[in-house]
Structure 1
Amino acid sequence: MIPSVIIGEIEVLSCSNSWRNFHFVKITAENGLIGWSEFDEFFGMPHVSSVIESLAPRIIGQNAVHHQAIRQDLLNVTRPGAGGVVGQAIGSIENALIDLYAKSLDVPAYVVLGGKIRDRIRVYWSHFVSHRARVGHFEKDIIDVGGVRENVKDALEGGYTALKTNVFNYDDDGKTKSWAPGFGRPFDPSRNAEKNLRKGLHQHLELLRETSGDDMDIMLDLNFNSRPEGYLSILRELEDLDLFWVELDVLDAKALSMIRSQSKHPIASCETLIGLHQFLPFFDHQSIDVAIVDTLWNGVWQSMHIAAAADAFDVNVACHNFYGHLSTMMNAHFCAAVPNLRIMEIDVDRVSWDRDIFTHLPDITDGYMTVPDRPGWGTEPIEAELKKFPPIPDAGLARAAPRQSFL
């Protein structure tokens, strides 16, 4: 018998994460069951919550079991603006519906995704150095080489076997300096990777290797911070290093294919794409070794389709996961259910109250996360705790004040 999980109410909740906000969708069924999902408004996508609230009336009274039909209806009425904040809003709604559906069956979410293939998932420590370089937000700060070495020590002691860093240089006093022109830090639309930048990055990666030893897998994330010519110059500079992958964002599949053909390191990309149709050119042109899928943006159900397409092209997938603990649980179910998984991203550095606002935390030991077996995603935000940490007004890349005059 098909469960009757009639949707009664949809809410958007948020709280501070010190330097950005966490955002959640709460869908309450008429029978009292609650489905949750997490979404994001910081990473260049403002006002997703406004779209969710605009779409919410269309799904009141619908049966959450039929989440694909609900998704298609929402796509039909937003088709001229598909993707972007609209795509993320629809994905976040469907993610909450999947949680609600699984809870109605009293099973973990991976069951409704097709069942789990693995009990444990290898994870990597993401934003290594980058988060602690945001001085004043986390337990430990990084301002120089000594802080970087301490970060590596913590990773080794924590049993982690893989880490991912961004672009850092050091000044004459050993102070760290990041480089992210793709996000306006500094404001430099040319995004040229000059020789001193490339050599400084080589020094940073050598420091990580020297401190961590030969067994640590090291990844580099270049984001949108250059153009193909610049990426190629960086890759040539780093040819002698042992890197797990180099992650970069190029929205032209042919250009990325050209970069991959000249790289001695595996190439990972696609974390900002929404919908299978955006991924297909990158599979067709053999542009990537690993397809990174943002399951919050796409919705976990759509992400399963993307992973299946990647599998048809013999490409592995990984998830884009640098949000809260609910996001990590959601991604864990995705990672448990797909056959072609490479590794899972997590942020180890957390603000002090992060553990207090969720009912359950990820179970990570020696660099592996155990797949949760509780109903649904396996954790929920605690609403009373969220209220203790009001959201930061105007948080997000798009709402930040310009760092300098454009003239």
Structure 2
Amino acid sequence: MAKISKIEYWRVPPRWLFVKITDENGVSGWGEASLEGHSQAVEGCLDAWAERYVGMEADDIERIWQLSYRGGFYRGGPVLMSALSGIDIALWDLKAKKLKVPIYELLGGKVRDKIRVYAWIGGDRPSDVEVQANGRKSQGFDAVKMNATEDLGWLDSPQKLEECVERVKAVKALGLDVGVDFHGRVHRPMAKQLIAKLEPQDPLFIEEPLLSENIGGIKDIAARTHCPIALGERLHSRWDVRPFLESGCVDILQPDVCHVGGISEMRRIASACETYDVALAPHCPLGPIALAACIQVDAVSSNFVIQEMSLGIHYNVDGDLKTYLSSQEILNVKDGYINLPNDPGLGITINEEAVRSLSEGSKAWVSPTFLGPGNELREW
């Protein structure tokens, strides 16, 4: 046993927040608390928890998780759960490193040796969708995810729906499986039409056909289609997930390890999904620590199907997965899979020099906003 001596964090490009916890023996673990567009709020929470948790036993992962969740009266939500994610992932990494085993060994042991992965290609603008898809294919991916469309209001032009179908056809013609992300941009009258038009293309899944707060609408849409419905990136705990499982309106759950309370909660969510015959496909357009944390849960979850990863990230700023890794074996994609890492902890080595250097003067990423033809606000 060793007490926590220091909790640090760094805001790094393009929009990530890394956490490092060190114990009194000098052993450290890395976590990620990225919450796109809300970094300052998460940092404030980490400041408060650092004051409280320094001096506690680093091995007491569940005690610290419960204290973080239940000890402040107000519970859940994206900010608190993202800060908790950074703490939780770092503590798992630290403990497994001390024991010289991968985290998945502490979660019960692996049920697979490699992980199927997919990457994002954009897709809401037609100009470069085939170029991006071919780029992913050359990287070793056999599956991609693309946006269905730019924002759609309650009743926009049906022509936009036809354009989406043509883009999906073009990508499928390259021999790739295609998940189609509505991203909550599409309101129900348009979503029903678009899903019906996409059905003949047999998409891998339809993601966020509506915003997650509209569970009634999602249930209605799920009952109308044979396409698998995927969602979960805007759900922040097993309690948020529960009504979707109970209503039977989700087929593939996509929790984000940086938003649900880390490895501890994602493991619980994965088990809950298994009882409802719902597949696990973690959301992860984030950094290398988040990806490595997802993989630890993927390795032990029998209902895991595919993992998102942001290799060759699409942001036009400094900083991507490779920038922050000293060892990059985890990024080697072959025939749509990556091998399960065997090194202790998260199985990756963080380039701390790059983290510290790139964090200097790093500004918080601001979520974009989109306006419709009448200058009204549309969904991101």
TM-score by length of 2: 0.89
Aligned match for 1:11, one of 4, 8, 13: 8
Task: Tell me whether 1:316 sits opposite 2:297 in the alignment.
Answer: no
Task: Tell me whether 1:158 sits opposite 2:139 in the alignment.
Answer: yes
Alignment map for 1:157-306 (pairs within 5 Å):
157-168=138-149, 179-180=150-151, 190-210=153-173, 212-213=174-175, 216-248=176-208, 249-298=211-260, 299-306=262-269
Task: Give, in angstroms, the shift of residue 307 of structure 1.
Answer: 0.7
**2:299 alignment counterpart:** 336
Amino acid at match of 2:214: D
Deviations 1:269-298 (CA, angstroms, capped at 9, x unpaired): 122101111111111110111111111111
Q: Distance in 1 between matches of 2:376 and 2:228?
A: 36
Change over 3 Å in CA distance of 1:403–1:192 after alignment to 2: closer
Note if contact 1:270-1:279 (Cα within 8 Å) is conserved in structure 2.
yes
SS of 2:54's equivalent in the other structure is coil
Q: Could you list the runs of 5+ residues in structure 1 that have no partner in the other structure?
A: 134-142, 169-178, 182-189
Deviations 1:67-91 (CA, angstroms, capped at 9, x unpaired): 1111111222323243220121112
Note if contact 2:4-2:53 (Cα within 8 Å) is conserved in structure 1.
yes
Identity, in percent, stands at 25
Amino acid at match of 2:238: L
Q: Distance in 1 between matches of 2:356 and 2:28?
A: 18
Deviations 1:319-362 (CA, angstroms, capped at 9, x unpaired): 01111122211111111011110111111223775323222222
Q: Distance in 2 between matches of 1:203 and 1:267?
A: 21
Q: Distance in 1 between matches of 2:289 and 2:72?
A: 27
**2:366 alignment counterpart:** 396
Change over 3 Å in CA distance of 1:267–1:144 after alignment to 2: closer
Q: Distance in 2 between matches of 1:238 and 1:401?
A: 27
**1:387 alignment counterpart:** 356
Amino acid at match of 1:251: E
Task: Tell me whether 1:32 sits opposite 2:1 in the alignment.
Answer: no
Aligned Cα root-mean-square deviation (Å): 2.3
SS of 2:258's equivalent in the other structure is helix
Deviations 1:21-45 (CA, angstroms, capped at 9, x unpaired): 2210110100000011112132566
Amino acid at match of 2:142: T
Q: Distance in 2 between matches of 1:401 and 1:209?
A: 30
Note if contact 1:193-1:226 (Cα within 8 Å) is conserved in structure 2.
no
TM-score by length of 1: 0.83
**1:186 alignment counterpart:** none
Change over 3 Å in CA distance of 1:395–1:284 after alignment to 2: same
Q: Distance in 2 between matches of 1:343 and 1:38?
A: 21
Q: Distance in 1 between matches of 2:265 and 2:189?
A: 33
Change over 3 Å in CA distance of 1:402–1:208 after alignment to 2: closer
Change over 3 Å in CA distance of 1:384–1:206 after alignment to 2: same
SS of 2:93's equivalent in the other structure is helix
**1:174 alignment counterpart:** none
**1:171 alignment counterpart:** none
Change over 3 Å in CA distance of 1:282–1:51 after alignment to 2: same
Q: Distance in 1 between matches of 2:40 and 2:156?
A: 29
Matched residue count = 365
Q: Distance in 2 between matches of 1:58 and 1:221?
A: 40
Q: Distance in 2 between matches of 1:255 and 1:262?
A: 11
Change over 3 Å in CA distance of 1:263–1:114 after alignment to 2: same
Q: Which moved more, 1:294-303 or 1:349-358?
A: 349-358
